[in-house]
Chain A
Amino acid sequence: MSRSADGIYNFMGLKNYISDIYNGVKSLITGMKVTGHYITHPKEIITQQYPENRDTLKMFERFRGEVVLIHDENNQHKCTGCSACELACPNGSIEIISGKETDPETGKSTKIIDTFVYHLSMCTFCNLCILSCPTDAIKMAQDFEHSVFDRSKLTKVLNKPGSKIMPGVK
């Protein structure tokens, strides 16, 4: 209630005051309805309890967790040691130490990998190495539980001991 200059009481102020309170309270109750809805509908809870649901948890097939070198059942892989992935990697996560192998029949020596070193700690999972591989020897695996207590465990050797290159892959 305010008094205008000509001395007439103006009740518009009081009306606005009350409508302000009414609209304010109404908007607050609208908000409380939303949260009230969720507390009365516990089925809509979206929490996933992670370590407990490990058995049912399945990552999408394209998920990029770590680089692995594909080995078949005969312990053979397709890596020729061309080091295209090493060049494609932006962070130097991949180091390929290659050796020579001489074919006893023909006497020709071919380049093979000795160790395929993968520094998981440096990897940004950009997928460029997979794209650059000419023989599709490496792929991204879905394993994402990489925590270790010792940093050196994150440097991995991807080719399994005694593994050989698959025949026919060049």
Chain B
Amino acid sequence: MTEQELITNIETVPETQEYFINMGPQHPSTHGVLRLLLTLDGEIIKKIEPHLGYIHRSIEKMCEKDSYQQIVHLTDRMDYLSCHINNEAVCLCVEKGLQLEVPERVKVIRTIISELTRLSSHQLWWGVMGMDLGAITTFLYGFRDRELITDIFEETCGARLTMNYNVPGGVMFDIHPNFQKRTKDFITYFRKKLPEYDELLTGNVIFTERTKDIGYLSKDDAISFGVTGPSGRASGFACDVRKRFPYSAYDRVQFEEIVYTEGDCFARYKARIAEMWESMKIIEQLIDNIPEGEHKAKTKAVIKLPEGEYYQRVETARGELGVYIVSDNKKSPYRVKFRSPGFSNLSALDTMARGNKIADLVATMSTLDLVIPDIDR
């Protein structure tokens, strides 16, 4: 072959093409029915388009025909991993509207269970994070520790996942007599087990290689996309609602707001692990000091909020959850809107994962800790 022929041959080689892949709605690492339309060049991601709505149940619309007590149980089904915190958000919003002062005991109980919920959510996230990166054993270890928390919930609240423990004005029942002992046992147990998490994943060279400098999100981007929770705080956006706008008993406990500035997957990972330590600290401060009193303030059987608009934000395990209720003085709200953290966090995915590989997208999605029913509602 002459030189000239070689050149013409090279020129006739077809160009490479970008191609599309549907990641989801059924895909092991989207953790639900999220569909991502990926534009790929080889393994490099050029563009991500999330397609939502596969698990839309119109919870916000359903709230408009329900009474205020009935709304609460629907929020269990939004972010099912932090269901107690969702319930609490609605109850706090209704209490704000009624200008109802809940007993101190209720505040402390709610805070403890919120933190237990956060712990259980992070444990599950840790397990799933490991599984997404291929270490299936972590999944079982995460669930092993979470099991103890669900046992605590089952004993006190009556259910393991969709607890529906809050009612406007307080909590449904008083805490179970075993609650304090079980919780303390769990904290002692988990303080021993959490370093194991570090040994298995945090220090592991494969894991750090997989997560460091991957899925970078700058502070400005985090703010403009509204990425909150541990994901936002790992980018340097100090947005912890528990610190900025304290509710329930958070104003009387000492804890640190975990803020990292790296903004990569590893920072988001570290932020959640550090949050587990902080949650345990909060529980330890409160568990022995639950004030005596009623477990529920007196409310009318039919709650009618005065005409107006009410907004309450809380910090779920995934970020800031806002509950916005418009009332027209009837027994059910005129309009309810939830500002769910998952939706805003997902919106930043394209910015974070563009230019990385498919395997990095899985890691990035994992560190965002998406719960799909929370995105679609």
Direct contact between A and B in the complex (CB less than 8 angstroms)?
yes
Interface status of A46 (Cβ within 8 A of chain B): yes
Q: How far is the CA of A23 from the CA of B201 in the complex (A)?
A: 14
Interface status of B26 (Cβ within 8 A of chain A): no
Given contacts A62-B176, A131-B167, contact A23 B70 (CB under 8 A): no
Given contacts A31-B204, A140-B158, contact A62 B164 (CB under 8 A): no
Q: How far is the CA of A23 from the CA of B196 in the complex (A)?
A: 18
Whether the pair A23, B73 counts as a contact (CB closer than 8 A) is no
Q: How far is the CA of A30 from the CA of B167 in the complex (A)?
A: 47
Whether the pair A27, B204 counts as a contact (CB closer than 8 A) is yes
**Residues in B neighbouring A59, C-beta threshold 8 A:** 154
Whether the pair A127, B196 counts as a contact (CB closer than 8 A) is no
**Residues in A neighbouring B154, C-beta threshold 8 A:** 59-60, 62-63
Q: How far is the CB of B322 from chain A (nearest CB, A)?
A: 22
Whether the pair B137, A35 counts as a contact (CB closer than 8 A) is yes
Q: B: which residues have CB within 8 A of A?
A: 66, 69-70, 72-74, 137, 144, 147, 154-159, 162, 164, 167, 172-173, 176, 196, 199-201, 203-206, 301
Q: How far is the CA of A22 from the CA of B200 in the complex (A)?
A: 17
Residue of A nearest to B72 (CB): A126
Whether the pair A64, B301 counts as a contact (CB closer than 8 A) is no
Q: How far is the CA of A108 from the CA of B176 in the complex (A)?
A: 44
Interface status of A28 (Cβ within 8 A of chain B): yes
Whether the pair A128, B205 counts as a contact (CB closer than 8 A) is no
Whether the pair B203, A27 counts as a contact (CB closer than 8 A) is yes
Residue of B nearest to A140 (CB): B158
Whether the pair A64, B66 counts as a contact (CB closer than 8 A) is no
Whether the pair B155, A90 counts as a contact (CB closer than 8 A) is no
Q: Which of A28, A90, A127 contacts B204 (CB 8 A)?
A: A28
Q: How far is the CB of A143 from chain B (nearest CB, A)?
A: 14
**Residues in A neighbouring B205, C-beta threshold 8 A:** 23-24, 27-28
**Residues in B neighbouring A28, C-beta threshold 8 A:** 204-206
**Residues in B neighbouring A24, C-beta threshold 8 A:** 205
Given contacts A60-B154, A131-B167, A131-B172, contact A125 B204 (CB under 8 A): no
Q: How far is the CA of A31 from the CA of B208 in the complex (A)?
A: 13
Chain B at the A interface: SS class: helix
Interface status of A98 (Cβ within 8 A of chain B): no
Residue of B nearest to A87 (CB): B67
Residue of A nearest to B296 (CB): A131
**Residues in A neighbouring B69, C-beta threshold 8 A:** 88, 128
Q: How far is the CA of A127 from the CA of B172 in the complex (A)?
A: 9
Q: How far is the CB of A125 from chain B (nearest CB, A)?
A: 6
**Residues in B neighbouring A31, C-beta threshold 8 A:** 199-201, 203-204
Q: How far is the CA of A90 from the CA of B332 in the complex (A)?
A: 12
Whether the pair B301, A127 counts as a contact (CB closer than 8 A) is no
Whether the pair B162, A124 counts as a contact (CB closer than 8 A) is yes
Given contacts A31-B200, A34-B196, contact A128 B73 (CB under 8 A): yes
Interface status of A132 (Cβ within 8 A of chain B): yes
**Residues in B neighbouring A64, C-beta threshold 8 A:** 158-159
Whether the pair B158, A127 counts as a contact (CB closer than 8 A) is yes
Residue of B nearest to A128 (CB): B69
Q: Which of B70, B147, B200 contacts A128 (CB 8 A)?
A: B70
Q: How far is the CA of A23 from the CA of B164 in the complex (A)?
A: 47
If A27-B203, A30-B203, A64-B159 are given as contacts, then 19 extra A-B residue pairs at C-beta distance below 8 Å, sorted by A number, are A23-B205, A34-B200, A35-B137, A60-B154, A60-B155, A60-B158, A60-B176, A62-B156, A62-B173, A63-B154, A90-B74, A124-B162, A126-B70, A126-B73, A126-B162, A126-B164, A127-B158, A127-B172, A131-B172
Q: Which of A116-147 contact B (CB under 8 A)?
A: 124-128, 131-132, 140
Q: How far is the CA of A64 from the CA of B173 in the complex (A)?
A: 13
**Residues in A neighbouring B158, C-beta threshold 8 A:** 60, 62-64, 125, 127, 140
Whether the pair B157, A62 counts as a contact (CB closer than 8 A) is yes
**Residues in B neighbouring A35, C-beta threshold 8 A:** 137, 200
Q: How far is the CA of A124 from the CA of B57 in the complex (A)?
A: 15
**Residues in B neighbouring A131, C-beta threshold 8 A:** 167, 172
Whether the pair A30, B199 counts as a contact (CB closer than 8 A) is yes
Q: Which of A26-70 contact B (CB under 8 A)?
A: 27-28, 30-31, 33-35, 46, 59-60, 62-64
Q: How far is the CB of A52 from chain B (nearest CB, A)?
A: 19
Q: How far is the CB of A45 from chain B (nearest CB, A)?
A: 10
Residue of A nearest to B77 (CB): A124
